[in-house]
Amino acid sequence: MAKILIVQGHPDGAERHLCHALADAYAEGAQEGGHSVSRLELARMDIPFLTSQKEQEGGVVGPAIREAQDMIRAADHILFVFPLWLGEMPALLKAFFEQVARPGFAYDLGGSPLRSGLLRGKSARIVITMGMPAFVYRLYYGSHSLKAMKIGILRFVGIAPIRSTLIGMVGSKRFDGGSWLDKMLRLGRMAR
């Protein structure tokens, strides 16, 4: 059975959103499937923004980030759930990646750019919610932020395979949240 880490990346910690319900459904399915689940709620963490390359490569790693690194290290599979904001991941999630993906933990600073990832052997799923139709995000916008996360962050640090789920039309009258919760439950059972 897999060790699963769920990273709930919605930056609003004051209210529950669809991202929270999706993460909960995935966790429920994973536990039903016999997998162990740990969770990070980014809105409840102290995640300072980095302001220089020097800080990223050699600055102090705070206790919340060190704990997140330990959870990532222990995981076999990582689920990232977040809303699309202005065509990108929320700034808090980007700050999390910049803090967590430090040299020596996530990649080898002196290694080959194509083989420097230190987190090999882990898989991931990215779940992005958005107000626009998912096919518009794919076809018109080219899924650019999804590609950047897959290639520029996760694959760079060695995580593969990386699967994705794009949930569009959130907030519209035609949106069927129940079917997405069922899908997340099924994906959780399979640790995919």
Q: Are 188 and 27 in contact (CB under 8 A)?
A: yes
Over the chain (192 residues), the average pLDDT of each successive run of 10 is 98 95 99 99 96 90 97 99 97 98 91 82 99 96 96 96 98 92 98 98
Q: Are 23 and 81 in contact (CB under 8 A)?
A: yes
Q: What residues does each domain of the chain span?
A: 3-190
Which pLDDT value is given to residue 79? 99
Which pLDDT value is given to residue 172? 93
- Could you list the beta-strand ranges (E) of 94-188: 123-129, 162-167
Angle at 40 (CA atoms; ends 182, 142), nearest 5 degrees:
65
- What class has domain 3-190? alpha beta
Overall size of the chain counted in residues: 192
Q: What is the pTM of this model?
A: 0.96
Which pLDDT value is given to residue 158? 96
Which pLDDT value is given to residue 58? 86
Which pLDDT value is given to residue 174? 87
Query: Token pair of 187, please?
Result: 């994906």
Which pLDDT value is given to residue 59? 84
